[in-house]
Amino acid sequence: MGVVKRSEVYWVKLDPTLGSEIRKTRPCLVVSPNDMNSKTPRVIIAPLTSKGSNAGCRPIVDFNNQVSKILLDQIRSVDKTRLQQKIGSISLSVWQPTLLEMFK
């Protein structure tokens, strides 16, 4: 796999999981900074879903012609071997303000 960049979206194998963690292979947004992505074997991701409530911390985006939510309440670090195919990107301006607000 080439260099993984912030704001790119990949299919990611999230299983195995526990409890209420989001499951399956699903699209995930890379939220970790490029410097980290180039120097470690892990990336920080936020899963996308077309279901569920907004919960105030889930920016709504139109991704690949489908209304989806970025699950910033489900961010996690994953090994890059969980990343499968790159399927697009989402502008930083769409999701970063909400993420910053969560960690004030």
Q: What is the 3-state secondary structure (H, E, C) of the chain?
A: CCCCCCCEEEEEECCCCCCCCCCCEEEEEECCCHHHHHHCCEEEEEEEECCCCCCCCCCEEEECCEEEEECHHHCEEEEHHHEEEEEEECCHHHHHHHHHHHCC
Phi, psi dihedral angles at 21 (to 5 degrees): -65, 140
pTM of the model: 0.90
Q: Between the ranges 21-25, 44-48, 99-103, where is the mean pLDDT highest? A: 44-48
Span 2-29, average pLDDT: 94
Q: Give the model confidence (pLDDT) of 53-68 as tens digits.
A: 777 778 888 898 999 9
Q: By residue range, what is the domain housing residue 65?
A: 8-102
- Tell whether the model's pLDDT for residue 38 goes beyond 90: yes
Nearest residue to 29 via CA among 12, 9, 57: 9
CA distances for 43 relative to 35, 69, 92, angstroms: 11, 20, 16
**Domains: count for the chain:** 1
In a domain, 88, yes or no: yes
Q: Which region among 32-46, 69-83, 87-101 has the lowest average model confidence (pLDDT)?
A: 87-101
- Read off the CATH number of the domain in which 74 is found: 2.30.30.110
